[in-house]
Amino acid sequence: MEYTISQLAKLAGISTRTLRYYDEINLLKPKRINSSGYRIYGQEEVDRLQQILFFRELGVSIETILSIMNDPNFDSLKALESHLAQLMKKRSRLDNLIDSVKKTIAHEKGEMTMNNEEKFEAFKERLIEENEQKYGGEIRQKYGDDAVNGSNNKFRNMSKEDFEAFKQLAEEILDLLEKAKRTGDPASPLARELAAKHKQWLTYTWSSYSKEAHRGLVEMYVADDRFKAYYDKKGEGAAEFLRDAVIHYLEEN
């Protein structure tokens, strides 16, 4: 069976503009162009689009999908098996989150009593799920499931006191980033303090720390537009400054 671009867009629930973009970046090319100049897609393209949408559902960036799927060693069956495993984990996280929200609603209605520890658990589950939706694909691709799952579990088991310290440290890092960036020197004392605090902040959730992983993370802050936008709220080039400060710090320590 063959589809025009409009028919495939309707079938997949996406826009024709998205399909044109996938064509432009060489992610999903049509099977052929007919005599009227219309893109025509066959079964192979339909299956490839399904894989793309699976990756997107898991939060993987277009750049990463392009790299994976254009790799000559790409195995569609292994990719599907991986998608299934990730979706099962996502369903488990969502089930936990739904259960926590239900308990919170019941508590608010006076139908049950929810202690502070349970309220805190619900909040942490929500943060984990939000982080998975925003960055899970890239982080899991870069560090692997074991590392990410270990980090999530460490976060789940964090005490309320440690969580408050974790949040406070995150705010201090942003404030210090803004001040250190004004110096223009990623090797300045302020920049070294910034990098040290960033390392400390990571140890709250990382099951194990390594310089290599720290360097890889700050490189991602620059390469990924979402991370970059978060840090660049403290001024254009803030993400790059943080990366450079951390790299200088790691080289010195």
Question: Looking at this protein, which amino acid is placed at residue 83?
Answer: H
- Cβ-Cβ contacts under 8 Å for 55 (sequence gap 6 or more): 64, 65, 68, 69, 83, 137
* CATH (residue range 3-57): 1.10.1660.10
> Which long-range contacts does 110-117 make (Cβ < 8 Å, 24+ apart)?
116/160, 117/160
In the chain, count of helices (H) and strands (E)?
12, 3
pLDDT value at position 199? 97
* pLDDT band, residue 117 (cuts 50/70/90): low
Average pLDDT over residues 224-252: 94
* pLDDT band, residue 119 (cuts 50/70/90): low
Alpha-carbon span 63 to 60, nearest angstrom:
8
* CATH (residue range 160-252): 1.10.490.50
- Residue 234 CB neighbours (<10 A): 20
pLDDT value at position 174? 96
| For the chain, percent of residues with pLDDT exceeding 90 | 53
pLDDT value at position 116? 62
* pLDDT tens-digit readout, 138-174: 788 778 888 888 888 898 888 888 988 999 999 999 9
* pLDDT tens-digit readout, 127-137: 887 788 777 77
- Domain locations in the chain as residue ranges: 3-57, 76-156, 160-252
- Cβ-Cβ contacts under 8 Å for 12 (sequence gap 6 or more): 49, 50, 53
Alpha-carbon span 136 to 131, nearest angstrom:
7
